[in-house]
Amino acid sequence: MTTQQTSFWTRYANPAAFQRLSARIAPLAGGGAVALFAVGLYFALIGSPAARDHGEAVRILYAHVPAAWMSLACYTYMAAASLVGFVWKHPLADVAAKSIAPIGATFTALTLITGSLWGKPGWGAWWVWDARVTSVLILFFMYLGYMALWNAIEEPTRAARIAAIACLVGFINIPIIKFSVDWWNTLHQPASFTKQGAVDGAIALPTWLLFSAYVLAFFWMLLVNMNAELAERRAARLEAGARPTSTLVAEPAE
């Protein structure tokens, strides 16, 4: 490997360098999220029309659909970070994977709650056990299980290893969720936004604005969580009697 290839990979493996970088990025992501939420909520609640069939209830879509995308995206990032942490032992990858889990669980809970609120006016039921709804509920439990594994195992390197395997095996659920509406008869309608002409521009605009807000909020929460996790680990090492200077260098790769 050339030095140029290794530089980015290893530079932010140093927690101190990562914390300097995230201190600059986190406020930008948080501020951007607040601004996009303000604009997005205006278009979602005031600046957009009622829909044919759904009437005013279509506004639930603007919270539901981006949250559903985020619930899948968070798990995908978590699986990618778990793979990098498990195979290449990048010291920040495990921290990232652990930090994504509660955010992903929150987006999944938001998906289920807003879906239920929309299900009553749309379908006529708060809850149904069709393939889409059930597979998303399983995703929610997988996030909870992943977090429980981290809490149950005391030693971080061992917890990271076992949680990573669980996360990667559970990734099978992601394509099942995505294609459940195509593979089986479901009450849930098939994908709209990837279908040409299915979503009118006036309804797509608030969706994309709020999705962008969710993405920036995700990065902001991720950086805050990762910094908290790094601080917690340093505190644990200090308590265990490690010398303070050793916390500034990256942990050995193996």
Enumerate binding residues for another protein (CB under 8 A).
48-55, 58, 61, 83, 86-88, 121-125, 128-131, 164-165, 168-169, 171-172, 176, 184-187, 189-192, 195, 197-200, 202-203, 254
Cα 233 to Cα 239: distance, rounded to the nearest angstrom: 10
- The answer to whether the CB of 216 falls within 8 A of the CB of 32 is yes
Minimum CB separation of residue 73 from another protein in Å reads 19
Q: Say if residue 40 is exposed, middle or buried (CB neighbours under 10 Å; 0-12, 13-18, 19+).
A: buried
Please identify, using beta-carbon distances, which residue of 17 and 69 lies nearer to another protein. 69
Of the candidates 32, 9, 12, the one whose C-alpha atom is nearest the C-alpha of residue 21 is 12
Write out the two tokens for 186: 């479901």
Please identify, using beta-carbon distances, which residue of 193 and 242 lies nearer to another protein. 193
Please identify, using beta-carbon distances, which residue of 79 and 112 lies nearer to another protein. 79
Contacts 24+ apart (CB under 8 A), 211-214: 211/65, 211/66, 211/69, 211/70, 212/36, 212/40, 213/33, 213/36, 213/37, 213/40, 213/66, 214/33, 214/66, 214/67, 214/69, 214/70, 214/107
Minimum CB separation of residue 224 from another protein in Å reads 29
Minimum CB separation of residue 151 from another protein in Å reads 22
Please identify, using beta-carbon distances, which residue of 32 and 77 lies nearer to another protein. 77
Minimum CB separation of residue 9 from another protein in Å reads 14
Cα 77 to Cα 140: distance, rounded to the nearest angstrom: 15
Please identify, using beta-carbon distances, which residue of 191 and 248 lies nearer to another protein. 191
Minimum CB separation of residue 82 from another protein in Å reads 9
- The answer to whether the CB of 166 falls within 8 A of the CB of 145 is yes
Minimum CB separation of residue 190 from another protein in Å reads 5
Please identify, using beta-carbon distances, which residue of 182 and 239 lies nearer to another protein. 182
